[in-house]
Amino acid sequence: IKKRNCTKYECLFLDEENGDRRIYLKMANSFFHFKQFTIRQDKCAMKVGTDGVLLGAWTPVESARRILDVGTGTGLVALMLAQRSPAAITALEIDENSAQQARENVVRSPWSNRIEVVCTDFRTFVSENKYDSIVSNPPYFMDSLKSPDEQRNTARHDSRLNYSDLLQGVKRLLSPHGVFTLIIPSVAVAKVMTTAYDYGLFPFRRLDVITKPGGTAKRTLIAFSFLEQKCREEVLLTEISRQQYTNEYITLIKDYFLNF
């Protein structure tokens, strides 16, 4: 196993025996280094995770001029989209500590001149212009036992922002030819689809994420628009075995992660 690019904050070990690529990442909880930016997350309840990375890498933004990130947290998704697109990005965050952290991460990035972090409630957010792309990694523990940590509850549970609130806001703020993309637990797909239809939003791309061979999808990414059309459905297997990632997953995230 080769040890590469170690810093005070993280170490990456790469095992390439027999052509396999096995990634072992060790990092301090307050930092996460990507190829073109760094996420500091000591003030945020929700840390960098696979869901946000998938959303930032998969979201279609090729023709977007204005992007809205709902519930930006650390600013991860906004920064990933800024790396991919020249669009102006507005990143909303209801929690003050997380919003401040996101601002700090944006200021230290190469794209600080076109990302604005706004501390506000999405349900009351107003904008003079509509957005070509809206993205969200929404709260998802709808029925699970809540944590005593109120900040973490806000980030993870839907007591403040549920799917209906989210989709209603998307209908209000999305441009006529815009795209709304989100990542949700796969068990919530039916509910989200039904609610989206109620607001005139229709899926045109879907990616079910499976973490191990023979497993079932735990997360699903869906791209919606106001145009009713056939939905292209795909499946992404992320790992062949523990920390041995598939070529498809590596291709999706290689522009962001170190040593890919």
- The domains of the chain are located at 1-33, 42-253
Strand-strand pairing, 202-210 and 88-93: unpaired
**pLDDT exceeds cutoff 80 at 131:** yes
User: Measured between alpha carbons, how far is 152 from 22 in angstroms, rounded to an integer?
Assistant: 31
**pLDDT exceeds cutoff 60 at 164:** yes
Q: Report pLDDT digits (tens) over 165-174.
A: 999 999 999 9
**pLDDT exceeds cutoff 60 at 120:** yes
Q: Which of 86, 89, 88 is nearest to 78 (CA)?
A: 89
**pLDDT exceeds cutoff 60 at 152:** no
pTM score, whole prediction:
0.84
Average pLDDT, whole number, for the chain? 86
Q: Report pLDDT digits (tens) over 9-63.
A: 343 434 333 343 434 344 446 888 999 999 999 888 778 889 999 999 999 999 9
What's the confidence (pLDDT) of residue 239? 95
CATH number of 42-253: 3.40.50.150
What's the confidence (pLDDT) of residue 140? 57
